[in-house]
């Protein structure tokens, strides 16, 4: 961000915050994410309710969009709903959909401290906090997210979930594969399995859609906030649980079945405490297979951006080479009797 942009952001924040004066000293691009950009602003706010605040975060778009991710206005609404439900999220402050000051929609939120780096949190020596407590807390937060149920006028942009969420997701994934027009028999095999074993429609809840290690912040004491709401949708709660526990999202710490950071039982316990009912634990495995299918299709879409020349990027190119191990895991989990 250049000086003119920072000044324009300062004026925007001053207007929104009712401050006498705002000065933005620097903007630091935060690491992580190929779909959105997060910028930490170092600033001085004089006057108004946010007097004395020295850091805020601006969230805006990056070029690598994925077909199904939500826009910033919608993500702002989701963050607001989650904050209201008591979920640990950065407090969303202001949304801007004008062409100025950034030329594209953005929102400003409170800055939370911590790391989201999955490869750090999953290593034995990467984080020395209480893993039992972290896994339980993550379960509790997910259960809180799942207390948000349709209908919600503030979330009317989310497509209604008609029928069985699993069958809907299978149809979506087949559509994405057809659009890519390249053959992946292992993924077709997985989709056949998912269709044969699809669960009936259960209670429909707000699913985070990308609840996994890498999308929450942790400091030395534990969880500080849940991030990245652009894949939120109405669906089956077990979809989020399967995504979090899926082997592909354990950052190599495969024995820590809860997100690569802790034990599955601790995560479930935290969830069940807030949900007030036991989880259908035997049903989670289905959604772990679904998680591998979904991530494989997303990875293929990302790789296509590089291969087509739309966005030459070594990161996107290497994303294609994640797909074989996802296909392998799908086959291992769906071995015929």
Partner 1 sequence: MRDQPTGEALLDTARSVVLDTLLPALPAERRHDALMVANAIAIALRQWRRGSAFERAELGALTALLGLPPADARLEGAALQAALVAANRHCCDALRTGRLATTREAWSVLCQAVRHKVEESNPKALPGGARAR
Among 186, 223, 237, 296, binds partner 1 (CB under 8 A): 186
- Provide, rounded to whole angstroms, the least separation between the CB of residue 254 and partner 1: 8
Measured on CA atoms in the order 103, 108, 114, 117, is the torsion positive or negative?
Answer: negative
Among 49, 52, 151, 185, binds partner 1 (CB under 8 A): 185
**Using rule CB under 8 A, residue 335 touches partner 1:** yes
**Using rule CB under 8 A, residue 282 touches partner 1:** no
Among 192, 220, 280, 307, binds partner 1 (CB under 8 A): 192
**Using rule CB under 8 A, residue 175 touches partner 1:** no
**Using rule CB under 8 A, residue 333 touches partner 1:** yes
Please, what is the Cα angle at 178 between 182 and 73, to 5 degrees? Answer: 115
The mark string for 254-273 relative to partner 1 (x by CB under 8 A, - otherwise) is x-------------------
Residues 24-83 close enough to bind partner 1 by CB under 8 A: 31
Could you give the CA distance from residue 134 to residue 266 in angstroms, rounded to a whole number? Answer: 9
- Provide, rounded to whole angstroms, the least separation between the CB of residue 327 and partner 1: 5
**Using rule CB under 8 A, residue 318 touches partner 1:** yes
- Provide, rounded to whole angstroms, the least separation between the CB of residue 188 and partner 1: 4
- Provide, rounded to whole angstroms, the least separation between the CB of residue 45 and partner 1: 28
- Provide, rounded to whole angstroms, the least separation between the CB of residue 214 and partner 1: 14
Nearer to partner 1, 90 or 190 (CB): 190
* 92-100, 126-134, 140-148, 184-192 -> range binding partner 1 (CB under 8 A): 184-192
Locus of tokens 């979330």? 155
**Using rule CB under 8 A, residue 174 touches partner 1:** yes
Could you give the CA distance from residue 229 to residue 69 in angstroms, rounded to a whole number? Answer: 9
Among 188, 200, 281, 307, binds partner 1 (CB under 8 A): 188
- Provide, rounded to whole angstroms, the least separation between the CB of residue 307 and partner 1: 14
- Provide, rounded to whole angstroms, the least separation between the CB of residue 250 and partner 1: 12
The residue ranges that bind partner 1 (CB under 8 A) are 31, 174, 182-186, 188-189, 191-193, 254, 314-315, 317-318, 321-325, 327-328, 331-336
């Amino acid at each position: 961000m250049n000086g003119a942009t920072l000044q324009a952001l300062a004026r925007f924040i001053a207007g929104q915050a009712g401050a006498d004066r705002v000065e933005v000293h620097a903007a630091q691009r935060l690491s992580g994410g190929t779909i959105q950009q997060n910028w930490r602003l170092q600033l001085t706010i004089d006057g108004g309710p946010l007097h004395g605040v020295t850091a805020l975060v601006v969230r805006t778009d990056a070029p690598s969009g994925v077909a199904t991710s939500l826009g910033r206005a919608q993500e702002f609404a989701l963050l607001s709903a989650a904050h209201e439900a008591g979920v640990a999220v950065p407090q969303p402050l202001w949304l801007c959909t004008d062409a100025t000051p950034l030329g594209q929609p953005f929102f400003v939120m409170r800055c939370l401290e911590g790391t989201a780096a999955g490869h750090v949190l999953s290593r034995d020596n990467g984080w020395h906090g209480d893993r039992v407590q972290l896994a339980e807390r993550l379960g509790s937060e997910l259960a809180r997210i799942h207390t948000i149920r349709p209908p919600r006028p503030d979330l009317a942009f989310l497509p209604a979930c008609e029928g069985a969420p699993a069958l809907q997701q299978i149809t979506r994934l087949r559509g994405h594969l057809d659009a890519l027009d390249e053959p992946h028999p292992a993924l077709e095999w997985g989709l056949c399995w998912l269709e044969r074993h699809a669960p009936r429609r259960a209670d429909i809840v707000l699913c985070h859609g990308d609840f996994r290690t890498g999308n929450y912040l942790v400091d030395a004491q534990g969880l500080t906030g849940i991030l990245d709401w652009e894949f939120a949708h109405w669906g089956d709660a077990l979809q989020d649980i399967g995504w979090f526990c899926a082997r592909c999202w354990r950052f190599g710490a495969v024995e820590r079945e809860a997100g690569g950071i802790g034990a599955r039982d601790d995560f479930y316990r935290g969830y069940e405490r807030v949900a007030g009912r036991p989880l259908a634990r035997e049903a989670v495995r289905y959604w772990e297979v679904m998680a591998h299918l979904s991530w494989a299709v997303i990875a293929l879409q990302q790789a296509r951006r590089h291969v087509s020349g739309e966005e030459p990027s070594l990161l996107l190119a290497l994303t294609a080479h994640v797909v074989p191990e996802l296909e392998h895991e799908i086959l291992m989990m769906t071995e015929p009797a």
